[in-house]
A and B are shown apart, each in its own frame.
Chain A
């Protein structure tokens, strides 16, 4: 092989870099699902809990576009319950997830996600972040 002296160390460095997430985690504690504080009064979310866990960001994305771009703001869920398609007024209302820090943030922080929603949307109970 030509230039083996350069290619092989180069490959080693490259492999080291791309596998960084794996070996840098060796010895660290395994991921633990964070404990979330659920609403006290409300039993049900907009849709079933399992579905919401997997799809809440898609739902919020669709709500956003439907409300802002199509002027459709009323959502009737599978069970026939109606909701205002609003992150602030529905999801973050006092009966539901007003506790952004112990609900939204816990999961997002654990997964190292920083959604831009809060750059503009304000949590009513906390006020300005």
Chain B
């Protein structure tokens, strides 16, 4: 048994070095060990929410006032210990801006009043072809099989190349130690240390436990989250019925956050 455990840890350790997925190498080095009873094994929670391709829809008709947005933003920022740093060195995962800023190429003089005046939500687009992942020199940011563009804060060296690469301004850098800027630290989510980049992760840790992203839960139906690869999913059904916009589609990043107009 002890040997099994060592083999597992060795395999996991080795794969960390090689950057290969841990479970794949586990299967390679100790076939069947994951299933064998008694030996240590790793896996997902049975209640985990899984998808082939996660996507989010923002129903702009339901988001008419800043208050509704604020509920989502607060849910996100409180849960993830996002610090409140005033000024241009701020950190944000989820925020709002005007239509002309979120969709600079769509802006024109005759945009309807509702669109012109209402706030629009901005967050990481979890692109299918993410430039941030392409440029990261350490794989600290990477795309998961289910489409989530994930951050490994343990590995980030703080070069900020991903910030230059992201055409959506979705990434924030910890210019300072964030802790003094967090009002109430939630101990169940880590804070970050100074010198690393962070962003929205589609609440991947909540999905792993069977919960929807915090903003979706707080949005009272204004945010729809689901599997874009599944034809019967709600996101697919809504996208079939309603017109949607994506930010800067001409850049070829293939964003997976859709704005229902």
Number of interface residues of A (CB under 8 A): 34
Whether B22 and A69, one on each chain, are in contact in the complex, defined by CB atoms closer than 8 angstroms, is yes
Contact-residue size bin, chain B (C-beta under 8 Å from the other chain): 35 or more
Could you say which of A6-14, A29-37, A121-129 contacts chain B?
A: A121-129
- Chain B residues within an 8 Å CB radius of A88: 187-188, 190
Could you say which of B39-47, B86-94, B122-130 contacts chain A?
A: B39-47
Could you say which of B99-107, B148-156, B160-168, B216-224 contacts chain A?
A: B148-156
Whether B9 and A116, one on each chain, are in contact in the complex, defined by CB atoms closer than 8 angstroms, is no
B237: Cβ under 8 A from any A Cβ: no
B185: Cβ under 8 A from any A Cβ: yes
Residue of B37, B41, B185, B192 with highest tally of chain A CB at under 10 A: B41
Interface of B: prevailing SS = loop
Min CB distance, B14 to chain A, in Å?
10
Min CB distance, A121 to chain B, in Å?
5
How many A-B residue pairs have C-beta atoms within 8 angstroms? Tell me.
93
- Chain A residues within an 8 Å CB radius of B251: none
A43: Cβ under 8 A from any B Cβ: no
Whether A78 and B204, one on each chain, are in contact in the complex, defined by CB atoms closer than 8 angstroms, is no
A108: Cβ under 8 A from any B Cβ: no
Min CB distance, A93 to chain B, in Å?
10
Whether A75 and B45, one on each chain, are in contact in the complex, defined by CB atoms closer than 8 angstroms, is no
A72 touching B38 in the complex, CB below 8 Å, given contacts A62-B12, A120-B153, A120-B191 = no
Whether B208 and A123, one on each chain, are in contact in the complex, defined by CB atoms closer than 8 angstroms, is no
A61: Cβ under 8 A from any B Cβ: yes
- Chain A residues within an 8 Å CB radius of B142: 69
0/1 per residue, A49-86, Cβ < 8 Å to B? 00100010011011011101111111111101000010
Identify the A interface with B (CB < 8 A). Answer: 47, 51, 55, 58-59, 61-62, 64-66, 68-78, 80, 85, 88-89, 116, 119-124, 127-128
